[in-house]
Amino acid sequence: MLKDFGMEDCAPVKTPMVPGLCLERPATPLSPEEIEFMKDKPYMHAIGRLTWPANGTRPDIAYVPGVLACFNNSAGKAQWTCSQASPVLLYIKGTLDYKLHYGPCPHPAAFASFSDADFPGDLDSAKSTTGFVLLMGGGAVAWSSKLQACVACLTTDVMDWVLNDLQLYLYALMYTPFL
């Protein structure tokens, strides 16, 4: 993937996204300079290529494709350079040896789960982003990071939603027959 985007010789970074970065969709159309800058940038292709590992093997980058996809129709220089698409590719370069590990569970329970939410994370819609990870055997077996469908009035509403998502995954795991 790095070779496809011409980043195989770049220096890696330690985080998949600039910490604390809040991007807003532009209120005006992109300038001719930004359109020209983005003309040869495979922005949506990069998002598509990031979505597969984020959903299947890389919970550490699960948040980034969802944030990037919000700018599919209005991606400009800010989304491509210092803020989004480039850093996650550079992060992948530095973490190529990362993998999911399963083994004896360090927790007394069979499952361990962690969840979090921001309130409201999307500055344009005031919607919250929620996420969780479910561990079994010491490794992640399910994870999610998504923008909620509606606006929450209270932080407790947001946490209820993320816990409901986690509960649905647990229910599916408990009642799915394994061959």
In tens digits, what is the pLDDT along the chain, a chain of 179 residues? 777 777 777 788 888 877 776 666 666 677 888 888 888 877 788 888 888 888 888 888 888 888 777 777 777 777 676 445 677 888 888 888 888 877 776 666 677 778 777 766 666 666 777 778 888 777 888 888 877 667 766 666 767 777 777 777 777 777 777 64
- Whether 65 and 143 share a structural domain: no
- Whether 121 and 94 share a structural domain: no
- Whether 70 and 153 share a structural domain: no
- Whether 61 and 95 share a structural domain: yes
Q: Which among 99, 128, 148 is the end of a domain?
A: 99
- Whether 81 and 49 share a structural domain: yes
Residue 106: inside a domain: no
- Whether 66 and 115 share a structural domain: no
| pLDDT on residue 165 | 76
- Whether 73 and 124 share a structural domain: no
| pLDDT on residue 32 | 86
| pLDDT on residue 123 | 61
Residue 57: inside a domain: yes
- Whether 8 and 77 share a structural domain: yes
Residue 105: inside a domain: no
Residue 134: inside a domain: yes
- Whether 10 and 63 share a structural domain: yes
pTM summary value: 0.69
| pLDDT on residue 178 | 61
Report how many domains make up the chain.
2
- Whether 84 and 29 share a structural domain: yes
| pLDDT on residue 162 | 74
What is each CA distance from 51 to 47, 115, 139, 144, in whole angstroms?
Answer: 6, 20, 20, 12
| pLDDT on residue 98 | 86
| pLDDT on residue 38 | 80
Q: Which among 99, 119, 148 is the end of a domain?
A: 99
| pLDDT on residue 83 | 44
- Whether 36 and 71 share a structural domain: yes
- Whether 122 and 46 share a structural domain: no
Domain that holds residue 75: 1-99
| pLDDT on residue 158 | 67
* Both structure tokens of 65: 């494709």
Residue 103 burial by CB count (10 A; 0-12/13-18/19+): exposed, middle or buried? exposed
